[in-house]
Structure 1
Amino acid sequence: MKIADRYMHGHHESVLRSHEWRNLANSGAYFAGLLRPGMTVLDVGSGPGTLTFDVAARVAPGTVTGVDRSADIVAHARAAAGRRGATGVSFAVGDAYQLDFPDGSFDVVHAHQVLQHLSDPVAALREFRRVVRPGGFVVARDVDWGGTMWAPLLPGLAEWMRITQAVQRGNGGEPFAGWFLLTWALDAGFADVTSSASVWCFASDEQRRWWGGLWSERVTESDWGAQARETGVADADTLGMISRAWLEWAADASGWYGMPHGEIIARG
């Protein structure tokens, strides 16, 4: 990210709880078949590293490097690697627009839920293209907040979505990023791009308790809520109402949530 770019969610414990749920099966199935032992992989925006660790297991004895803008989250990922005894994995602070690697350094460059937060995603994709070897792959997946679905149709969740889109746009990001991944990749100079889509779904009692519970915290405790208040998009009363709506949704046996994502595999 450029310094001017602002990350909407931050790294509150409730945010990390959701990010640490991500793995290759639920967030990277679209590119998992590309991974081969001995590959070198760059994971941009690696966060707490759960996806990074799964990729590393697939490419061993190859190596995976995770980079993230936040020094705190890099330290968190390094500690997780130590607890796991992970090998072939390293983490460093990095800038998606100016990666500290020579041209053609990696077989695969991966970015999950990153481009939506950038004010210039095409520039970032050009940088990813620079550091991937000829014939290698740049793979990316981002949410389409505009297509997010839920039942029952609680007013508090509609307000949550309005605020989410307003905060992200206010930060210079694109909440409908999933729509635009193919366009951005073509604009970045990739000629061979495959596009797909997939959906996270939370509907069981356990899934609702987990998703609704963490979001009931995120709206009041994380950077999401702080930025909403700071920019005047919402006040504390509105955030409290949304927090209660997430708990109401989680307790409802008919509660259902679908979160669609766009995906690309771009050959370097």
Structure 2
Amino acid sequence: MSTEQATYPHGHHRSVVSSHARRTVHDSAAFLAPHIKPTDHILDVGCGPGSITMGFADLAPEGRVVGVDAVASVLEQARALAGDRKNVEFAIVDANALPYPDATFDVVYCHQVLQHVQDPVGILREMRRVAKPGAGVVAAREADYRAFAWHPTSAGLDRWGELYQAQALVSGGEPNAGRFLHTWARRAGFEAENLETTVTSWCYTGERAKQWGNMWADRAVQSGFAKVVKDKGLGSEADLQAISRAWADWATEDDLFFSVPSTEILYRVPTASANPT
């Protein structure tokens, strides 16, 4: 059985998980939502604290939604969020070897997952394998960190961008996954005629931008990002403290702007299609 070899560099500090818990179907899967039917059986790969998963459950009240993640602690938060909802369940799963039979799900989705894994093509193959031929949809959304843009400019934030790239790569991932997502899908056997590729962006201004800046001021010194930077000799504690101050200072500025572009793929699994090996 395949197991994940890359390390998730963000870790699961509260500053990370609380940011993930703000994500919704509206801001993270709007391109997929119109394709979800009320009776669909949906798999949310790398579901984290479950906020997107719960949005899927609302869209498929007569179906079933399964959220899977490799980390038990975030699944505890997801289960708490779900409460007594009957059409949602969560499980600890390594996406490299999904424990489901072929053709199980109507919709298979992952959000900001493939940038953190060693074999994104293999995981896309697994996602395709468990989707139903003729009716199934496989979708993914991945950011491109090198395409991030912000105002006002800041040498400290530039340094953050450099260290983010370095720590993601040394952890075994690809921080600019968005620009590779379409190619990964084609390598996984997704036929071009059944594959749609789009780009959308989170755009933060005003209070939301301040929240983003203060969140990264915290993450720069307390999350897994900081641990990887120091453990791998990419930067010092002084570097991280300076980056944290730069984020905090940035968050006090007027007319803030921060954009996070992500590439999206939506693949309709054809009826007569053998899963690639």
TM tier, shorter chain? over 0.9
Contact 2:4–2:118 (Cα < 8 Å) also in 1 = no
Contact 1:64–1:88 (Cα < 8 Å) also in 2 = yes
Separation (CA, whole Å) in 1 of partners of 2:266 and 2:44: 14
Give the corresponding residue for 1:228. Answer: 229
Q: What is the aligned length? A: 265
Give the corresponding residue for 1:201. Answer: 203
Aligned pairs for 1:147-226 within 5 A: 147-191=147-191, 192-204=194-206, 206-226=207-227
Contact 1:23–1:54 (Cα < 8 Å) also in 2 = yes
Contact 1:181–1:264 (Cα < 8 Å) also in 2 = yes
Contact 2:230–2:237 (Cα < 8 Å) also in 1 = yes
Paired residue type of 1:150: W
Paired residue type of 2:94: D
Q: Confirm or deny that 1:128 pairs with 2:130.
A: no
Separation (CA, whole Å) in 2 of partners of 1:242 and 1:235: 11
Aligned pairs for 1:89-100 within 5 A: 89-100=88-99
Contact 1:53–1:86 (Cα < 8 Å) also in 2 = no
Paired residue type of 2:171: N
Cα offset, 1:13, TM superposition: 0.6
Cα offset, 1:78, TM superposition: 1.1
> Matched residues, percent identical?
42
Cα offset, 1:254, TM superposition: 2.6
Paired residue type of 1:138: V
Any idea what the Cα deviations from partners look like across 1:225-246, whole Å, max 9, x if unmatched?
1111100111100100110111
Contact 1:40–1:107 (Cα < 8 Å) also in 2 = yes
Aligned pairs for 1:235-254 within 5 A: 235-254=236-255
Which contiguous aligned blocks of 4+ residues in structure 1 show a shift greater than 4 angstroms?
A: none
Aligned pairs for 1:67-86 within 5 A: 67-82=68-83, 85-86=84-85
Cα offset, 1:2, TM superposition: 3.0
Calculate the TM-score normalised by the size of structure 1: 0.97
Cα offset, 1:209, TM superposition: 2.2
Separation (CA, whole Å) in 2 of partners of 1:16 and 1:218: 11
Cα offset, 1:255, TM superposition: 2.0
Give the corresponding residue for 2:274. Answer: none
The verdict on how the C-alpha distance between 1:125 and 1:3 changes in structure 2, with shifts beyond 3 A counting, is: closer
Cα offset, 1:3, TM superposition: 3.7
Any idea what the Cα deviations from partners look like across 1:155-186, whole Å, max 9, x if unmatched?
11001111111111111111110011111111
Separation (CA, whole Å) in 1 of partners of 2:43 and 2:20: 18
Separation (CA, whole Å) in 2 of partners of 1:133 and 1:202: 37
Paired residue type of 1:22: R
Give the corresponding residue for 2:39. Answer: 38
Cα offset, 1:256, TM superposition: 1.1
Cα offset, 1:21, TM superposition: 0.8
Give the corresponding residue for 1:115. Answer: 114
Q: Secondary structure at the match of 2:97?
A: coil
Deviates more, 1:251-260 or 1:33-42: 251-260
Q: Secondary structure at the match of 2:67?
A: strand
Aligned pairs for 1:20-39 within 5 A: 20-39=21-40
Gaps of 5+ in 1: none
Separation (CA, whole Å) in 2 of partners of 1:74 and 1:18: 15
Cα offset, 1:266, TM superposition: 1.2
Contact 1:24–1:51 (Cα < 8 Å) also in 2 = yes
Give the corresponding residue for 2:142. Answer: 142
Separation (CA, whole Å) in 2 of partners of 1:3 and 1:140: 18
Contact 1:208–1:251 (Cα < 8 Å) also in 2 = no
Separation (CA, whole Å) in 2 of partners of 1:105 and 1:70: 23
RMSD: 1.0
Contact 2:41–2:106 (Cα < 8 Å) also in 1 = yes
Any idea what the Cα deviations from partners look like across 1:100-124, whole Å, max 9, x if unmatched?
1010000000000001111110000
Q: Secondary structure at the match of 1:167?
A: helix
